[in-house]
Amino acid sequence: MTTTITHWIGGAAVAGTSGRTIKVVNPATGEAVAETPAGTAAEVDLAVAAARAAFPAWAATAPAERAAVVRRIADGLKGRTEEIAAAITSEMGAPITLSRTAQAAFPVLVTESMLGVVDHFPWTEQVGGSLIVREPIGVVGAITPWNFPLQQVVSKLTPALLAGNTIVFKPSEKAPLTAAILAEIAAGAGLPGGVLNVVYGDGPTVGEAMSAHPGIDMISFTGSTRAGRRIGEVAAATVKRVALELGGKGANLILDGADLDQAVTKGLALSFTNGGQVCGAWPRMLVPRHLQDEIVERVVKAAAAYTVGDPLDEATVIGPMASEEHRRKVDGYIRRGIADGARLVYGGPGKPEGFEDGAYVRPTVFADVDPAGAIAQEEIFGPVLTIIPYADEDEAVAIANGTMYGLTSGVFGEREHALAVARRLRAGQVDVNDGHWNPLAPFGGYKQSGNGREFGRPGLEEFLETKAIQI
């Protein structure tokens, strides 16, 4: 039995006008679990009109009152953890344990941290003879991917709402189930109709219409660099603000003297978690050439713990890829690595034994990888780790910086030495040794990993205009 979802516009369910639907497929089984309307520019127009009508009153609402509504949304998300986790596992294949601990839990953590930011935010301040006023931008168009379907929208929705904006949201057509849950929770939390609107559909139709729409003042997009380029091109016609969180090819740079157990354990986790379908993953492990054999042995031993299986099994660490289409892409890169001469040390092409019916791949590790090769340069977005040897520190930094991406990286070594190397990396976020994710720290990319920042005070300021009033 499949679930039928409708658009959410102006605080009410709205049927699609195209007469077409998009099936949501469970990648573990290939079975349809839901269907959404295939939205068109007509639904985008309706949603924008609703958002513009709701904007003046929401923008005029006191920040403390907006925060109270957002806090109730966070409470609503927390109260439906199991439902959210089950929905994400069914629509994109994340293992159920990960869906509970990360997919459903992180959005609550992000929201609560942002509520702390606004408690002390200077909405107005005196600078010399000027009053600096920070005001909402207007209508925000939010477009999100399928890999962390709830977290990605909450990372936009929370600061946008707290700043006083209204929203038109397009979730990925591959993973739209949590969008419907979120809209229901927001309405129950007292968010006025029209402040949040959800339009389902594909990127070339709905995403394009949103990016071009003169009634949308800002686009906040998370997804591939290719799609981000297109959004920037289309949005330029109306000179709207565009915030892009795009692809990555993070490097895990292991220095001489590093704690190899720590570097391998954390590095592998940030390569294979969520099946490697993470923009901030570290799919490149850069190692001193004389330590490569030892590190490969450690990686292969540790990789055995990343069990592939049914995502509903709580022991599963890696489920299927999010779709059969994506499975073929990842498998193609594994085959490309072999063809290009990289040394296969774990995994390989094809589906794991016993999982021939779902969108499964074998977690794979390559060694002796050419840093200029396709598997070291292009975003695979799957559980594929490339181990790249280097001769000295300068070469390691050059390799780490030697892609078009610059989202995340890690450095392992003596603390002060590792910190010095971290400063040389052209990436928006770098972990040193046991440094871990901080929801108050800004997140975003250098180069073609995007522009703008999420989380913390910079993430709130992303959704604000700044006005100077001379007095």
Closest CA to 330 of 369, 378, 282: 378
What confidence score (pLDDT) does residue 194 get?
98
Mean pLDDT of 338-352: 98
**From CA 213, how far away is CA 231, in angstroms rounded?**
11
Question: pLDDT tens digit string along 434-448?
Answer: 998 999 999 999 999
Mean pLDDT of 358-385: 98
219: tokens are: 């686009």
One-letter amino acid at 307 equals T
Contact 318, 342 (CB under 8 A): no
Does pTM surpass 0.95?
Answer: yes
Active site residue 245: yes
Running DSSP on this structure, what letter comes out for residue 320?
Answer: -
For residue 430, pLDDT over 90 is answered with yes
Mean pLDDT of 260-275: 98
Q: Which residues contact 23 (CB under 8 A, 6 or more apart)?
A: 2, 32, 34, 35
Mean pLDDT of 335-349: 98
One-letter amino acid at 383 equals P
Q: Which residues pair with 242 in a beta bridge?
A: 219
Tell me which of 43, 245, 454, 462 is the catalytic residue. Answer: 245
What confidence score (pLDDT) does residue 2 get?
79
Average pLDDT, the chain: 97
SS (H, E, C) the chain: CCEECCEEECCEEECCCCCCEEEEECCCCCCEEEEEECCCHHHHHHHHHHHHHHHHHHHHCCHHHHHHHHHHHHHHHHHCHHHHHHHHHHHHCCCHHHHHHHHHHHHHHHHHHHHHHHCCCCCEEEECCEEEEEEECCEEEEECCCCCHHHHHHHHHHHHHHCCCEEEEECCCCCCHHHHHHHHHHHHCCCCCCCEEECCCCHHHHHHHHHHCCCCCEEEEECCHHHHHHHHHHHHHHCCEEEEECCCCCEEEECCCCCHHHHHHHHHHHHHHHHHCCCCCCCEEEEEHHHHHHHHHHHHHHHCCCCECCCCCCCCCECCCCCHHHHHHHHHHHHHHHHCCCEEEECCCCCCCCCCCCCCCCCEEEECCCCCCHHHHCCCCCCEEEEEEECCHHHHHHHHCCCCCCCEEEEECCHHHHHHHHHHCCCCEEEECCCCCCCCCCECCCHHHEECCECHHHHHHCCEEEEEEEC
- Architecture of the domain spanning 251-439: 3-Layer(aba) Sandwich (3.40)
386: tokens are: 């490339």
What confidence score (pLDDT) does residue 253 get?
98
Handedness of CA 388, 391, 394, 395 (dihedral sign): negative
Question: pLDDT tens digit string along 160-203?
Answer: 999 999 999 999 999 999 999 999 999 999 999 999 999 999 99
**From CA 157, how far away is CA 186, in angstroms rounded?**
11
Closest CA to 269 of 304, 321, 311, 306: 306
The fraction of the chain above a pLDDT of 70, given in percent, is 100
Structural domain spans, the chain? 3-246+448-470, 251-439
Tell me which of 173, 279, 454, 461 is the catalytic residue. Answer: 279
Show the beta-strand stretches assigned E in 178-231: 196-198, 218-222
Q: Which residues contact 275 (CB under 8 A, 6 or more apart)?
A: 93, 94, 318, 319, 320, 321, 322, 361, 382, 383
Domain spanning 3-246+448-470: CATH superfamily: Aldehyde Dehydrogenase; Chain A, domain 1 (3.40.605.10)
Question: pLDDT tens digit string along 380-413?
Answer: 999 999 999 999 999 999 999 999 999 999 999 9
Confidence of residue 1 (pLDDT cuts 50, 70, 90): low
Q: Which residues pair with 139 in a beta bridge?
A: 166
Listed range (2-11, 54-63, 207-216, 291-300) with the worst mean pLDDT: 2-11
72: tokens are: 């109730």
**What phi and psi, each to the nearest 5 degrees, are found at residue 302?**
-70, -30
